[in-house]
Chain A
Amino acid sequence: MELIAVYLAFILVLSIFLGFELISKVPATLHTPLMSGTNAISGITLVGALAAAGAGEAQEGLATALGVAAVAFATVNVVGGYLVTDRMLGMFRKR
């Protein structure tokens, strides 16, 4: 258990550094699509929500209900975030 936590912390630290490197290269022009795009990525909680919503009889009803609500919220982010980002980026044209 503790070992898993340390291993997850290891991933956390490396990803934060990677995130800083990646995001600092994004030009100011694209900061709004960057935010909506990261909104979409933060919808990754959907992965956690799916497990909670789909466990069936193995857990009590409240956990399933919470999971379903979480699926709905996270899907708003995933679907809405990617679509609106795509719509915006489609407007950035060079003439």
Chain B
Amino acid sequence: MSDIYINLAYIASAALFVFGLKMLSSPATARRGNLLSSIGMLIAIVATLTAQGIVSYQWIAVGALAGGVIGALAARLVAMTSMPEMVALFNGSGGAASLLVGWAALSAATNPTAFTAAVAFLSILIGGVTASGSIVAWAKLAEVVPSRAVVFPGQRVVNGLILAAIVVGGTLFATQPATDAPLFYALLGLALLLGVMAVIPIGGADMPVVISLLNSYSGLAACAAGFAIDNNILIVAGSLVGAAGIILTNIMCKAMNRSLANVLFSGFGAVQAATKVEGEVKPINVEDASIILEAASSVTFVPGYGMAVAQAQHVVRELGDLLEAHGTEVTYAIHPVAGRMPGHMNVLLAEANVSYDKLVEMEDINPRMPNVDVAVVIGANDVVNPAARDDATSPIHGMPIINVDHARTVFVLKRSMASGFAGVDNPLFFGQNTRMLFGDAKASISGVVAQFKD
């Protein structure tokens, strides 16, 4: 096909991408939206394959087969608890693809202009940062490396120097683009190093921000690659992805009441808690807990990452069903940064067969909290810490929380009295209306379920 028809096909693809994303505005239409978006992708790919410049298909087939098998297996086999790791790796492979496309465009070009060289370099730089940064993010999420923030003296100076070297080297490269020169390989190495350096100072609790940001970078890298090869569909799709990542990053930062700069550079988690909380902890056993739940007319579950770790989502749903059958109103209140990526808890509960209209956002549950008889906190800590609201000296002060302490009774399911990711003490545990149900969350809930069935 000539370029005209290919570009007409790209218009159809772009329209389908936009429709697909639009249908993601409701869980009822989202699946069809994803299908539309994939049809858009198929159209773009098939149209491109007919281009006159493409003469040999065997190598394309090799690459596509390898990628297709890996992608399909990964998509089928991944556990829903591991979605953050999977998305981190997908961000990385998107970045790597942009890096390689930029590199290939440069090495194939005879006498590229300074503009082409500059945008191809940008594609390599952003792609490289995304790829190596995503691998570090994956390693932290999978706990291949410690998930805490890695900070060392002079870190900012080192990062500043790397950045300065990239800017100077990149400018030099744009004027004399040669991909076989040492300068190019040095820049490639620096881009990958920058990605690593950007992610290591970020602690485990801030991972939702990092994944969102890398998601955005993978889109921007595709945009830059689009400029490098004069391709409009890369720019349209890339900027849609970039915008999605930026919006999610923003939502995550707001949900922690921190600026992006603070998340990226401060090495949170290394901060010491300001106020020590003292008081009496009131433990409760499974029998008493189920008696209180039986008497309740409304119950809200507040899940956190601990629910994913304990794999407790299925027994939570079972308990929820039993309560509903008993006539109790059951909701699931979800904080925007609960879990390790945006929307992580929602997916886990959906997997456990919880109806999506029972999943309530923080802003919607808080006004109703005084009317909730029992709030059951499962493996969440910082997102329900009243110190964030009341204690101006707390390191997490100002972070919006789910006000479980306003409920009539609060059950906190917890292994021990250890503090959360932010390392901050939680006065909720010492509250008048709080009962601590110590032990593994899954075992505790199963115990309550068993009591209920008797």
Q: Is the CB of B215 within 8 A of A39?
A: yes
Which residue of chain B has its CB nearest to the CB of A95?
B355
Q: Do B31 and A89 touch (CB < 8 A)?
A: yes
Digitize A63-94: 1 where CB-to-B-CB distance is under 8 Å, 0 elsewhere: 11011111111111111111111111111111
B34 near A82 (CB under 8 angstroms)? Answer: yes
- Whether A38 contacts B67 by the Cβ 8 Å rule is no
Cβ–Cβ contact A79 & B72, under 8 A: yes
- How far does the alpha carbon of A76 sit from the alpha carbon of B45 in the complex, in Å? 14
Interface residue range, chain B: 35 or more
Question: Closest CB-CB distance, A43 to chain B, in whole Å?
Answer: 7
A1-34 interface bits toward B, Cβ cutoff 8 Å, 1 = contact, 0 = none: 1101100100110011011101111111111111
- Cβ contacts under 8 Å, A59 to chain B: 107-108
- Assess the B234–A54 pair: CB atoms within 8 A: no
Complex contacts, A4 vs chain B, CB 8 Å: 230
Q: Assuming the A-B contacts A38-B241, A86-B31, A89-B31, are A76 and B93 also in contact, with contact meaning beta carbons closer than 8 angstroms in the complex? A: yes
Chain A interface residues toward B at CB < 8 A: 1-2, 4-5, 8, 11-12, 15-16, 18-20, 22-60, 62-64, 66-95
In the complex, 20 of the A-B residue pairs with CB atoms within 8 angstroms, ordered by the A residue number, are A19-B241, A22-B18, A22-B21, A23-B248, A26-B25, A29-B343, A31-B251, A32-B347, A35-B215, A35-B342, A42-B238, A47-B48, A48-B225, A48-B226, A57-B56, A71-B64, A78-B71, A87-B76, A89-B27, A90-B31
- Contact surface of B with A, Cβ cutoff 8 Å: 17-18, 20-22, 24-28, 30-31, 34-35, 37-38, 41, 44-45, 48-49, 51, 53-57, 59-60, 62-64, 66-68, 70-72, 74-76, 78, 80, 83, 86-87, 90-91, 93-94, 96-98, 100-101, 103-105, 107-108, 113, 115, 211-212, 215, 218-219, 221-223, 225-248, 251, 334, 336, 341-344, 346-347, 350-351, 353, 355-357, 359, 361
